[in-house]
Structure formats: structure tokens, C-alpha cells
Amino acid sequence: MKVLICEDEEIMLTAIEFRLQKAGLGILRAKNGEQAIDVLKTEVVDIIVLDMVMPETDCYEVIYKIREELKQQTPIILLSPIEKKDEEVLEAFRMGVDDFVVKPFKPTELILRIKRIFQEKGIEIIKEKIT
């Protein structure tokens, strides 16, 4: 299973990548929304982890492009800073986000949310014990 992580902070990106790889998932990286869209034009991914605050392209534009232009229904988990307003997160849900995690978060929380999304689809993806 492949996860596209779209995160502009290198430390956060590396930490998420390390933990998801440890859980047995393949990783593709993007440092901004445009890179994420470029990846999605050429690669098939099973889930997208999308930072809400990025340079160049905001998350709403990325979500729109994924859902409307690329016509992809790939599950999206939004990484939301704690200071974001509820209305902003609700708008992302209206646009097609499947779940969100508030920063800062423990990597285990993200893995559990990924696992839950796939269990809802009847897919078992993470076989190793989560620690």
C-alpha cells in the first residue's frame, strides 16, 4: 500500500515517513500541493496525508484538484494545526477529506486513522503490532 505524504516541514515529513514505513507502508513524498498533484498524475496511491498549511498552494486547492480535476476518490487525512478554526476543517470535510489529525500528534494516532479508513473499506493493510 502506498501513502502520499504532502508536508512542507522536513522534520515532520521524515518523522511521518519513518513511522509509516515501520508499519509496512510504502511512501511517496511531496513538499507542497503542486508536487502532490504531480505525483497523483503519475502514481496510484492508496491514501493521502495532506498538511493543511503549505506554501504556494493551499489545501483547499489541492483537495479540489484531487476530487474535481483528477476525479480521484483516494482517502485524504488532513493534518490540521491546532490553531485552525472549526469552520476551516469543516470546509475541508465538505470538499471530500475523510479524516483529520490535529498537530502536534503522535504517529500512532495517524497510523490508527489510516488503519480505520482501510478497515471501513474491508482492506487489512497494517499487519505489524502498533507500538
pLDDT tens sequence across 22-49: 989 999 999 999 999 999 999 999 999 9
Distance separating alpha carbons of residues 114 and 124, to the nearest angstrom: 10
| Contacts (Cβ under 8 Å, ≥6 apart) of 86 | none
pLDDT at residue 83, as a whole number = 77
Q: Rounded to two decimals, what is the model's pTM? A: 0.90
Whether residue 129 is predicted with pLDDT greater than 50 in this model: the reply is: no
Model pLDDT, residue 6: 96
Helix, strand, coil fractions of the chain, as percent rounded to 5: 45, 20, 35
- Over residues 12-24, the mean pLDDT reads 92
Q: What is the pLDDT of residue 124?
A: 66
Domain 2-120 CATH (choose: 3.40.50.2020, 3.90.850.10, 3.40.980.10, 3.40.50.2300): 3.40.50.2300
Which three cell numbers mark 112?
A: 490508527
